[in-house]
Structure 1
């Protein structure tokens, strides 16, 4: 279903607000995931305090513009899901990494923290960060 201009502006503002206060972000390709798998991934993300959203790439680029995750813009190609850690820097990485073990269709594209973008292989390093507890 196509979004109206007002809906697109609201979506960009919502993602921008989350990105502005997030500690880290993961961009992952979800091509080939079933609806049940996507629902399960979103439930796990919610339980870990991770904001996860599928956003059209052009809108995602606008949403991260002006935040420390602007560095992700070049990685936003194909069907991408954005995951932002709001409380624990490694939470999004752990959710995506753990779920990717079960679902091969979920492939990490980029990892961002502190205004720097890292290759997908660095998701392990971010996931191993100790929690704040």
Structure 2
């Protein structure tokens, strides 16, 4: 009985510590996010439902699951893999980004590797 009580008490103390360790910092890019860029105009939405909605600006669109992976050494960068064969990769960075199609700055940058090319743009959290 004492062993069970000790384990229960330990679990009460360890659980909040584990949750804190897994919690994202405010700088960490996390869904839901809306991203995009100009020339060509392209867009990417990373939904809280685990789906990436990508339009390349040339008429092709993809909806697929995505994997968001936090950088191992900073909370300011995350990588995203998506596409029907997980062939599209992106890096999202937490730094101010000037959108060319508007006056508002966005809080994150994005670079997307797609079909042997590189697209760049800005991201912002969905409200």
TM-score normalized with structure 2 length: 0.30
Say which structure is richer in strand. Answer: 2
* Max Rg structure: 2
Say which structure is richer in helix. Answer: 1
Greater RCO structure (CA 8 Å; 6+ sep): 1
TM-score normalized with structure 1 length: 0.29
